[in-house]
Amino acid sequence: VRNFVEAIARKRDGRELEATDLRAFVRGAAVGSLPDEQLAAMLMAICIRGASAGETQTLVEAMRDSGTCWGLGQRYPQAVDKHSTGGVGDSVSLVFAPLVAACGVQVVAMAGAGLGHTQGTLDKLGAIRGFRAAGNRREAIERLDACGVSFAAQSEEIAPADKKLYLLRDTTATVPSLPLIVASIMSKKLAVGARRLVLDVKCGSGAFCKTPEAARELAGALVSVARRAEVDVRAVVTAMDQPLGPNLGCASEVRAALAVLHGGGDSRLRELTVALAAEALELAGRDAAGARQELERRLADGTAAARFEAMVHAHGGDPDERRLARPTRSVPVPAGRGGYVTAIEAETLGWVAVVLGAGRRSQGDVPDPAAGVAVHARVGDRVAAGQSLATLEFGARALDEEELTARTAAAFTLGEEPVTAPPLVMWRLGASA
Amino acid sequence: VRNFVEAIARKRDGRELEATDLRAFVRGAAVGSLPDEQLAAMLMAICIRGASAGETQTLVEAMRDSGTCWGLGQRYPQAVDKHSTGGVGDSVSLVFAPLVAACGVQVVAMAGAGLGHTQGTLDKLGAIRGFRAAGNRREAIERLDACGVSFAAQSEEIAPADKKLYLLRDTTATVPSLPLIVASIMSKKLAVGARRLVLDVKCGSGAFCKTPEAARELAGALVSVARRAEVDVRAVVTAMDQPLGPNLGCASEVRAALAVLHGGGDSRLRELTVALAAEALELAGRDAAGARQELERRLADGTAAARFEAMVHAHGGDPDERRLARPTRSVPVPAGRGGYVTAIEAETLGWVAVVLGAGRRSQGDVPDPAAGVAVHARVGDRVAAGQSLATLEFGARALDEEELTARTAAAFTLGEEPVTAPPLVMWRLGASA
């Protein structure tokens, strides 16, 4: 304990930590050999003082090594992993995984449960009856061999230090720290062990990174850690100034994904999924133009949709879309005036969806698959007074409709002049690596 | 909990805390309504980001109000409290209290147990057989009425928030924080409630404040809080570049104090005690010259020594000096070469004394009254090779004599040129208030 107090003091004073200090910190989190107050003090010192690239790398590797490493890249050298830093209405993973697998490239995905205003992929998959993510290496291999995709849930055995620190960060106001975010993401990726990685770094009012500069910094830090660990990586900074897709909610996002997989669906959701899937195919050696063509073909000819069905089967689930939960009641949110939609607060809509039941307000909550928000108006659209901007989709909870309607309406800014939404893909990193 | 996370985030980002945030923090520490990891995160954020004068004042008052306020100043308007920020070989309190009381001014002293390299006054008094500090207001009044002095121990009822935070700061590397130090000191002073206060802010290698600037800053912050609470206050910045008195250790420091009380004793210990006692008498309305004369007279004519005896009796102790513990074995530490003593690392000597048994290495330790270090050479002295610089005084512990001798010798720097030690009283604050 005496030595760890000295390590905390070092970071408190803005000095560089020794590798042994960082390993003691991670071991302390993983096996409980340090009390929570010492972990919290170190987290806050790192949050305020930052960490060097070398410290971040040591932290990532120590967190990776705090549990079991699946090393799936050794068995599936082509397999790709994808990560998003957390958006609203972002159902990309549900389309990306079967689509890329349908092109012959396995997809290894460590999916998280949502906390805060974003919904987690694992919660959305939970809307599919019987769906069970892989909990260990054997189950991941079974799923990959069966359908080319494995969704895995973070278990006790993968980076247990991250699990502990993630919960502590939430209660100690140490979530917004670049090195801690990088370590949390990359330790799990490296433990699962895919050798190829596509990163979707969200940027805008609905994301952790509010500015392009912050998003580029995070993307750069993630890419740097991946490269040092000899992972082929592409990072894309994408717009999160408004919800990505037309739905927020577990069952409704599965439906939005199925619409794209069947060749139609929302154009923004489709555009971003194809862009990220193209990065994955390029990592697997395809050329850019060929990759795009193949992806469009797989969406058009039904092979992507068929792969989704195979993927759900391989995970023990029932792929029948008719079995997905439906809202018990739908309440439209009309525009109070006419005009052009100039901004949509994605974070506010995310919180409304959570209140309706689509997410977790605390660790113990179980999301309600039926609940959510459907978004009808997008930035740049012209709406008339009284036209529906969004629909509140109620699940099992009895809630104050008026307050939620007012909050939802207030998330839409209407102006006199038309505006153009920024491009979905704002910046790419890693293509020339 | 959600609100307190927002409060932590505010301080993390360097913004000012609301009074309600600070009160929630203090209440959380006092009654356990906040988990240790949130307290620790807030402590680290305050440690790195600092606190404004207003925040510090709110923190002090909330900590004061976390327990019982004795309000002794209402009953004894003249009574004075004295505080030292922690020195080595500093037996001033043991002389100051009976000396000032012998001049007709009551002394209310909240004495602490030592932790780290300094010994606490309570531990030194513990070397006197049967001595029991006041644990509540009634006991303090009994002692004050009997002898004009009450030594009190921090109990569960005085500033319980401070007790909790003090222990947490020790394990989370958040001890060196000006606002936290000010809050810890002043919350207890204000809870006991004397209306007059003399502060001895130590400055130098053996003190928390290593530089005159740091000491002045701390003195200024303490004086500012005292004045806002309508306490008459004097602060004196004094040298702690070497041990103050000739002894480190519980029984030996009582002996050093008795030597001064009987009109002799160490000149530095005597000089600083008289300087601080003069501040106390001036606060009580005496003029500076008259105060000095009276103090010297009380030391010379035996009334101060008699008051010590009465004080020990009033606290249930046995004042017979012959009953104080003696070392089981004494080992001289000779100078390896001749020369002038140019510096003495007080902190190193303090740690040697702790290892010998004179202090606490952890909360559960009970100090050994017999153990300590006697210091023979002072800064500016000329010593011959082989002359004794100090003596290790062993108590009950069996220890490696050679290593301790080497560490002790290394604490003395010898040079070719004579040097002059800085004046004991470096700076005074508050006299013109």
**Model confidence pLDDT, tens digit, residues A290-324:** 999 999 999 999 999 999 999 999 999 999 999 99
Is A162 a catalytic site residue? yes
Q: What is the mean pLDDT of residues A132-143?
A: 96
With an 8 Å Cβ cutoff, is A40 touching chain B? yes
> Which residue has tokens 């009012």?
A205
- How many Å apart are CA A235 and CA A223, to the nearest integer? 7
Which pLDDT score is estimated for A27? 96
DSSP string across B25-71? HHHHHHHS-S-HHHHHHHHHHHHHH---HHHHHHHHHHHHTTS----
Active site residues of B: 83, 162, 169, 184, 188
Burial level of B51, CB count in 10 A (0-12/13-18/19+)? buried
Q: What is the mean pLDDT of residues B175-197?
A: 95
- Number of helices and strands (H, E) in chain A? 17, 13
**Model confidence pLDDT, tens digit, residues B267-318:** 999 999 999 999 999 999 999 999 999 999 999 999 999 999 999 999 999 9
Q: Which tokens belong to B395? A: 């108590």
Is A83 a catalytic site residue? yes
pLDDT band for A433, please (50, 70, 90 cuts). very low
Q: What is the mean pLDDT of residues A25-52?
A: 97
pLDDT over 90 at A189, yes or no: yes
Q: Which tokens belong to A72? A: 């799936």
Q: What is the CA radius of gyration of chain B?
A: 21
Which pLDDT score is estimated for A431? 57
| 8 Å CB contact between A368 and A360 | no
Which pLDDT score is estimated for A24? 96
Query: Is the pLDDT higher at B206 or at B64?
Result: B64
B429 DSSP β-pair partners: B235
β-strands B107-111, B149-153: how paired? parallel
Q: For residue B239, how far is the Cα from the chain centroid?
A: 14
Nearest residue to B103 (alpha-carbon basis) of B274, B266, B320: B274
Q: What is the CA radius of gyration of chain A?
A: 21
Nearest residue to B424 (alpha-carbon basis) of B244, B223, B259, B266: B244
Query: Are residues B48 and A49, on separate chains, in Cβ contact within 8 Å?
Result: yes
Chain B residues with CB under 8 Å of A40 CB are 36-38, 40-41, 44, 172
**Model confidence pLDDT, tens digit, residues A357-388:** 998 777 677 899 999 999 999 999 999 999 99
Which pLDDT score is estimated for B433? 42
pLDDT band for B208, please (50, 70, 90 cuts). confident
Dihedral sign from CA coordinates of A11, A13, A15, A20: negative
Q: Which of B9, B36, B49 sits opposite A173 (nearest CB)?
A: B9
Q: Which of A65, A81, A90, A162 is catalytic?
A: A162
Nearest residue to A426 (alpha-carbon basis) of A296, A283, A275: A275
A198 DSSP β-pair partners: A82, A234
Q: Considering chain A, what percentage of its residues have pLDDT values greater than 90?
A: 85
Picking from A325-329, A351-355, B24-28, which range would have the lowest pLDDT averaged per residue?
A351-355
Run of H or E residues at A93: helix A92-102
Which pLDDT score is estimated for B120? 84
Q: Which of A1, A12, A40 sits opposite B41 (nearest CB)?
A: A40
- How many Å apart are CA B284 and CA A60, to the nearest integer? 63
| 8 Å CB contact between B89 and B253 | yes
Which pLDDT score is estimated for B114? 62
Which pLDDT score is estimated for A364? 74
Query: Are residues A36 and B40, on separate chains, in Cβ contact within 8 Å?
Result: yes
Q: Which tokens belong to B184? A: 């810890």
B388 DSSP β-pair partners: B334
- How many Å apart are CA A395 and CA A368, to the nearest integer? 6
| 8 Å CB contact between A28 and A63 | no
**Model confidence pLDDT, tens digit, residues B160-175:** 999 999 989 989 999 9
Which pLDDT score is estimated for B98? 98
- How many Å apart are CA B86 and CA B93, to the nearest integer? 11
Query: Is the pLDDT higher at B144 or at B120?
Result: B144
Which pLDDT score is estimated for B115? 60
Q: What is the mean pLDDT of residues A57-79?
A: 96
pLDDT band for B19, please (50, 70, 90 cuts). very high
With an 8 Å Cβ cutoff, is B172 touching chain A? yes
Chain A residues with CB under 8 Å of B12 CB are 44, 47-48, 173-174
- How many Å apart are CA B16 and CA B174, to the nearest integer? 19
With an 8 Å Cβ cutoff, is A178 touching chain B? no
pLDDT band for B1, please (50, 70, 90 cuts). very low
Q: How far apart are the first and last CA of chain A?
A: 43
Closest residue on chain B to A12 (Cα): B48
CA distances to A95, A186, B186 from A82, in Å: 12, 11, 55
- How many Å apart are CA A397 and CA A355, to the nearest integer? 9
Q: What is the mean pLDDT of residues B405-421?
A: 95
With an 8 Å Cβ cutoff, is A300 touching chain B? no
Nearest residue to A83 (alpha-carbon basis) of A280, A254, A216: A280
Residue B156's CB is within 10 A of a number of other CB atoms, namely 11
Q: What is the mean pLDDT of residues B106-124?
A: 81
Burial level of A129, CB count in 10 A (0-12/13-18/19+)? middle
Helix (H, G, I), strand (E, B) or coil at B348: helix
Q: Which of B1, B48, B168 sits opposite A37 (nearest CB)?
A: B168
Interface test mutation site (partner B, options A25, A37, A180, A361, max chain B beta carbons within 10 A) = A37
Nearest residue to B275 (alpha-carbon basis) of B152, B426, B98, B110: B426
Nearest residue to B265 (alpha-carbon basis) of B239, B295, B300, B235: B300
Supply the DSSP symbol for A322.
Answer: G
pLDDT over 50 at A1, yes or no: no
pLDDT over 90 at B363, yes or no: no
Helix (H, G, I), strand (E, B) or coil at A229: coil
Supply the DSSP symbol for B258.
Answer: H
CA distances to A6, A265, A394 from A9, in Å: 5, 54, 50
Which pLDDT score is estimated for B170? 87
Residue A245: CA count within 13 A, CB half-sphere = 33
Q: Considering chain B, what percentage of its residues have pLDDT values greater than 90?
A: 86
ipTM: 0.85
pLDDT band for B61, please (50, 70, 90 cuts). very high
pLDDT over 70 at B2, yes or no: no
Which pLDDT score is estimated for A363? 67
Supply the DSSP symbol for B365.
Answer: -
Task: Mark residue B423 as left, alpha or beta (left: phi above 0; alpha: psi -120 to 50; beta: remaining).
Answer: beta
Nearest residue to A252 (alpha-carbon basis) of A334, A353, A352: A353
- How many Å apart are CA A115 and CA A86, to the nearest integer? 10
Packing angle, helices B137-147 and B303-314, rounded to 10: 150
DSSP string across B184-197? HHHHHHHHHT-SEE
pLDDT band for A244, please (50, 70, 90 cuts). very high
| 8 Å CB contact between B194 and B108 | yes
- How many Å apart are CA A9 and CA A18, to the nearest integer? 12
Helix (H, G, I), strand (E, B) or coil at B283: helix
Q: Which of A11, A23, A169, A189 is catalytic?
A: A169
Helix (H, G, I), strand (E, B) or coil at B77: coil
